[in-house]
Amino acid sequence: MKVDLNIISHAVLDDKIFITKDKNKEVKNQLGGPVSFASTIFPVSSIKGRCITTVGRDFPKEYLEYFSQIENCNFEYNFSNKTTRFLHKIYENSRALYLLEQASNLDDYTTNFSGAKGCLISPVYHEVTSKTVEWACEEHDYIGIDVQGFMRGLDTNNKIIPLYNPQILAELTKNASFVKYSLNEAQHYTQKKSYKEILEGLPAHNTQIVTLGSEGLLFSKNNLNYKLSAPSRMEKDPTGAGDVLVSGILSKLVETDDLEISIAFGMALAAEKIQMDGLQSLTSKDYMVIAEEILESMESLE
SS3 label, residue 41:
helix
Instruction: Tell me if 119 sits within 8 A of 5, measured CB to CB.
Output: yes
Domains, the chain, ordered by start:
5-300 (3.40.1190.20)
Residue type, 159: K
Cβ neighbours of residue 65 closer than 8 Å, sequence gap 6 or more: none
Instruction: Tell me if 183 sits within 8 A of 202, measured CB to CB.
Output: no
Specify the pLDDT at position 267: 94
Specify the pLDDT at position 216: 93
Strands 24-32 and 12-19: antiparallel
Specify the pLDDT at position 118: 96
Specify the pLDDT at position 237: 67
Distance CA 16, CA 97 (A): 9
**E strand map for 131-267:** 140-146, 152-154, 160-162, 178-182, 207-211, 217-221, 224-228
DSSP code of residue 297: T
Specify the pLDDT at position 25: 85
Specify the pLDDT at position 35: 94
Distance CA 13, CA 176 (A): 28
Backbone angles phi, psi at 288, to 5 degrees: -70, -35
Specify the pLDDT at position 128: 95
Instruction: Tell me if 55 sits within 8 A of 11, measured CB to CB.
Output: yes
> pTM of the predicted model, to two decimals?
0.92
Tens digit of each residue's pLDDT, the chain (302 residues): 789 999 999 999 999 888 887 788 888 999 999 999 999 999 888 899 999 999 999 999 999 999 999 989 999 999 999 999 999 998 878 889 999 999 999 999 999 999 999 999 999 999 999 999 999 999 999 999 999 999 999 999 999 998 888 888 888 898 999 999 999 999 988 999 999 999 999 987 889 999 998 899 999 988 899 999 988 877 676 778 899 999 999 999 999 999 999 999 999 999 888 777 777 777 878 889 999 999 999 999 87
251's enclosing H/E stretch is helix 241-256
SS3 label, residue 97:
strand
Specify the pLDDT at position 233: 76
Distance CA 14, CA 31 (A): 6
